[in-house]
Amino acid sequence: MGLMLLSRRTLIAALALLGCLVLVGTSVSVYSMHSWQVKKNLKTYAGQLEAEGFAVLEQSAARAKFDLKRAWFWFGDFHSYAIQENVTAVYTDSDMGYIYFMAQASSSDVRVEQNVFYCGITQ
């Protein structure tokens, strides 16, 4: 009886360990696929902007100084606004997974606005 009980406990512990390993492995795989997709999107959008004459530079968004932040969820809106604002330089932050540019908040406002397009969001 004691040996059978030990075997049952060992089997339960082994199954629990196996379940944890599968869960961790799946989580790592999903995160890797998402990271790969974000980097692919970032490269694609940056290439489109370069093809249209924008200077695309890699720069951490943490280094940028701004007063306001505006998020864009559609590349077309982000792109159109950059053209409207006569933006020449667009920055990529591969660690954060987004493209951004700096612009004046409005014609009567001296504050600087960081306009961000998140490449990790499915379009």
Alpha helices in the chain (DSSP H): 2-51, 75-84
> For residue 123, what are its two tokens?
């379009």
pLDDT one-digit tens code per residue, 91-111: 998 888 889 998 877 778 778
Instruction: Tell me which range, 22-31, 37-46, 78-87, 114-123, is most confidently predicted by mean pLDDT.
Output: 78-87
Separation between Cα atoms, residue 25 and residue 36, nearest integer Å: 16
Q: Is the pLDDT of residue 5 over 70?
A: no
Contact 49, 79 (CB under 8 A): yes
Separation between Cα atoms, residue 15 and residue 23, nearest integer Å: 12
pLDDT at 3: 55
pTM score: 0.66
Alpha-carbon dihedral angle through residues 64, 70, 72, 73, given to the nearest 10 degrees: 110
